[in-house]
Amino acid sequence: MVDETGPSCASSVLTIDLGALKRNYRLISSHAGTSECAAVVKADGYGLGIGPMLNALRDAGCATFFVATLDEAIALRTLQQGPVIYYLNGLMPGEADICRTHSIRPTLNDPGQIERWAEYCATGREALPAAVHIDTGMSRLGLTPHETAALAAAPDQLQKFDFALLLSHLACGDTPDHPMNAQQRDSFAGAAEALPPTTRSLAASSGVFLGPAWHFDMVRAGVSLYGVSPQPGRPNPMEQVIHLQGKIVQTRDVDTPQTVGYGAAHRFEGPTKVATVAAGYADGYPRSLGDQGVAYIGNRAAPVIGRVSMDLITLDISSAPDAKPGEMVDLIGPHNDLDSVAESAGTIGYELLTRLGHRYRRCYIETNA
């Protein structure tokens, strides 16, 4: 199955393997044991297209989805009526009616949001579902420990709506030996014990691999669905979902004392075969990969030389001197996966994924294991 979007004459191609996505979901779900495995599809499915991600994950058995914002939740609901949808950034004034209309569940991040949702439900005499987020150590979103204790002592507001989920988020889940992981687990377990019983969720992608003590009732599979390693520095159990290729638009032979690109940042030290490839930072290929990144022509490395510009990069293809205009090079692929390219760029796979542009021709395929 191949489904293509984007300009047919595009010079770069982003191939997205929905089969690998499904297998990644099932792998994470298997590690979660009896806990439900929800999926996080925020930021347009981590940059890969919310519609295809939703359909593939539903096919894989996912029933609950998380996004960041209310507009993302509405877009998701427009595509499918069946799944449970939570948005994480909190219930802002005026959003309650929208949540009810679209059957979307807000995440309540402070006492004011809990009160707002409780009063809305009480006025409408309808116990609508919502999640409550408690902060166990990130100091970013959620009720503070003091606010959580006060809610546990006087949980009247929780009785006015369907308290469907209690969640928190690990700060250091991708660092298995970090003491924060156990501290947050214990803090979350204590808060859950003090509050009225409900579904509990602490672990996201990396947290799933910490072990059953972090799983509770639901895990939230996120970036690892898309191929990013859940535990950097350890073997990656996830399949690669994306393959990014750029087209060679020109080749040339150069010799010293010539330079290449803006700022004359790279000076040739000897005869070099150079290819110019139609991809740049406007397409999400990081500028920091100038003189740092490596592309591949087949299994032959082609280092990035000079600065990455808006629409073009230049490669040293001396290892593949027979390469010609019109041929494709792997910018992210079998020999240079998402995590390794992100590391070379001084960033993380999350950022690289969500920066992928829309000038690529996007090809959705489904491979078998």
Q: Could you give all domains of the chain from N- to C-terminal order, each with its CATH number? A: 32-226 (3.20.20.10), 242-365 (2.40.37.10)
Average pLDDT of the chain, as a whole number:
96
Which residue among 42, 160, 247, 273 is the active-site one?
Answer: 42
25 is catalytic: no
Residues of the chain above pLDDT 90, percent: 95
State pLDDT tens for residues 6-63: 666 778 999 999 999 999 999 999 999 999 999 999 999 999 999 999 999 999 999 9
CA dist 204 → 39, 85, 149 (Å): 9, 16, 24
pLDDT-based confidence at residue 369 (cuts at 50, 70, 90):
low
pLDDT-based confidence at residue 255 (cuts at 50, 70, 90):
confident
Question: What is the Cα–Cα distance from 330 to 87, expressed in whole angstroms?
Answer: 35
Q: Of 231, 307, 308, which is closest to residue 264 (Cα–Cα)?
A: 307
Task: Tell me the whole-structure pTM to 2 decimals.
Answer: 0.95
Query: What local confidence, expressed as pLDDT, does residue 2 receive?
Result: 62
Residue 162 has pLDDT above 60, yes or no: yes
CA dist 310 → 76, 158, 274, 280 (Å): 32, 51, 18, 5
Which residue among 22, 25, 46, 262 is the active-site one?
Answer: 262
Q: Of 195, 29, 225, 185, which is closest to residue 108 (Cα–Cα)?
A: 195
The helix (run of H) or strand (run of E) holding residue 18 is helix 18-31
The angle that helices 18-31 and 50-59 make with each other, rounded to 10 degrees, is: 50
22 is catalytic: no
Question: What is the Cα–Cα distance from 89 to 133, expressed in whole angstroms?
Answer: 10
pLDDT-based confidence at residue 236 (cuts at 50, 70, 90):
very high
Query: What local confidence, expressed as pLDDT, does residue 8 receive?
Result: 65
| Residues paired with 199 in a beta bridge | 165
Residue 315 has pLDDT above 90, yes or no: yes
pLDDT-based confidence at residue 358 (cuts at 50, 70, 90):
confident
